């Protein structure tokens, strides 16, 4: 887990909005200068 103020998490919040039982699978992304090789966003409150 990463703090919500982390630059990569801030970028995710700008790019995606997930509600309910939705999910997003990410692969090989560079967000605010941080490489995220693989991840799943299950729910994010903006």
Q: What confidence tens digit (pLDDT) does each residue in 7-42 have?
A: 888 888 888 777 777 778 889 988 888 888 888 777
Residue 2 lies in a domain: no
* Residue 17 CA to its chain's centroid (Å): 9
Residue 19 lies in a domain: yes
- Tell me which residue range forms the domain holding 16: 7-41
Residue 46 lies in a domain: no
Domain count, the chain: 1
**pTM check: above 0.85:** no
DSSP 1-45: ---TTSHHHHHHHHH----TT--EEEEEEEETTEEEEEEEE----
Amino acid 41: pLDDT: 75
Q: What is the spatial distance between Cα 37 and Cα 21, in angstroms, rounded to a whole number?
A: 23
Q: Which of 39, 20, 21, 45 is nearest to 8 (CA)?
A: 39
């Amino acid at each position: 887990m990463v703090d919500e103020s982390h630059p990569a998490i801030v970028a995710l919040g700008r790019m995606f909005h997930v509600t309910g039982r939705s999910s997003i699978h990410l692969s090989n992304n560079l967000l605010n200068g941080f490489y995220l090789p693989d991840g799943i966003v299950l729910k994010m409150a903006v």
